[in-house]
Amino acid sequence: MLVLTRKIGEAIQLGDDITVEVLEVRGGRVRLGITAPSSVGVHRREIIVSASDLASPSRAPAAAYQSHRQPSSVG
């Protein structure tokens, strides 16, 4: 795992097409802006894991995350 420190307004570039920018830091929360092509799925991991747990409680969270990395619109 790569761990980086960023300030508000700074960004991280992933490959050629994905940018993650720090928009706001307030208390214990960080707001991120993600720019990615529509062919790249961008999802909150806890939602994917929760949906997977509802469908199949025996699945491990990491496996659930990997199996749901399908292309969709940014959102």
Contact 43, 68 (CB under 8 A): yes
Structure tokens, 44: 């909150």
- Is residue 2 predicted with pLDDT exceeding 70? yes
- Is residue 47 predicted with pLDDT exceeding 90? no
- Is residue 72 predicted with pLDDT exceeding 50? no
How far apart are the C-alpha atoms of 62 and 23, rounded to whole Å?
A: 27
Cα angle 45, 47, 34 (rounded to 5 degrees) comes to 50
| CA-based nearest residue to 13, from 34, 31, 30 | 34
Q: What is the pLDDT of residue 75?
A: 46
User: What average pLDDT is seen over the chain?
Assistant: 82
Tens digits of residue pLDDT in 21-37: 999 999 999 999 999 99
